[in-house]
Amino acid sequence: MNARDDDILKAAETWRKDGRGVALATVVETWGSAPRPVGSNLVIDDQGNFLGSVSGGCVEGAVVTEAADVIESGKSKMLEFGVADEAAWKVGLSCGGTIRVFVEKVG
């Protein structure tokens, strides 16, 4: 079950108040079939905890990894994920969809 938007933002706020580094990932664009709509969020802290979803499958893991770099550097990133139809299910993008995810440091 996916967390509600207000739960995700509340977690980001709580984690920052606890002194953790935090990044927020947001789906900003989709093409074709995508598991999560534009505006979907994933919040990640510097300990590897996360809440929410931007896609599922291997994409989520890749976003968490990139978020660690964003937290450390403070520099936002635009990520794009897309695959051929035959590989789509392995990374969580059904029917060959493509998504763009913006990852920014919170704080």
Whole-number Cα distances in Å, 41 to 2, 14, 84: 10, 16, 24
Taking only the tens place, the pLDDT of each residue in 6-52 is: 899 999 999 999 999 999 999 999 987 778 899 999 999 999 999 99
Residue 101's pLDDT is: 96
Alpha carbon 28 to its chain's center: 10
Structure tokens given for 12: 């980001």
Among candidates 40, 44, 105, which has minimal Cα distance to 77? Answer: 105
Reduce the DSSP state of residue 82 to 3 states and report it: strand
Contact 36, 44 (CB under 8 A): no
pLDDT above 70 covers what percent of the chain? Answer: 85
The reported pTM is: 0.85
